[in-house]
Structure 1
Amino acid sequence: MVEQVMNVDELLEQLPAVQELLYRLLACQPEGAAYNNQLILQAFALVLKESLKIYCVINDGITRLVELFFDLGKDDAMVAIDIYKRSEKQTEQLAEFYNLGKHLRLSMNIQFPILC
């Protein structure tokens, strides 16, 4: 999780990198015959679990940015807004990603959050 002691510069630098990591995880979806391969499905379940952790880190960081938003300079505020917009798109993609996991019955051991 993003710690409260992170300063604005660290948040503005690290959150886009974590968001990029989430994009890479979202690209790890089985296709075609892979839906029937148990090894691939087990690996996909691990990716789903890691995506939950990364999603929490991003949410914590954005919460911190929102708290600091009105103290930011114009340039930093624009970067923060871009991070927020990117997060909004990722939340939609992540909801679809989790629905795929549920559809593949990988959710037996995974507690999926409700994403809006």
Structure 2
Amino acid sequence: MTLGLINANPVVHAKKERVAQQLSVLSEESITVDEKLGRILITFTPTIQHCSMATVIGLCLRVKLKECFPPHFKVDIKVAPGSHADEESVNKLLNDKERVAAALENPNLRQLVDECLYSNEL
């Protein structure tokens, strides 16, 4: 058994400066509003193929649009084709009224959506 330092000469690396990055999940070009027909189509791109937050992002978009547009507008929210491994089921959940209502009745999920939307408003 030795007494003393285990790593007497550690290698110290310089701290890297972090650069803020744009995730490009949503762009102006991916939003279509047809006021005449009362339709909104949003196509967003999750950050990675297996993004676990894709449904939360979609729910946040739906809740925010519901607040901002009259109730007669039909909203379709989809992940960009080929951008998510589970694209079909994410799209199905985001565009089914009963599934959206059930998701937003979950207190933990609703809290997460609210935090995403309103955390900067105080």
TM-score normalised by L of structure 1: 0.30
Q: 1 or 2 for the larger relative contact order (CA 8 Å, sep ≥6)?
A: 1
Look at both structures and tell me which one has the larger radius of gyration over its CA atoms.
Answer: 2
TM-score normalised by L of structure 2: 0.29
**Greater strand share, structure number:** 2
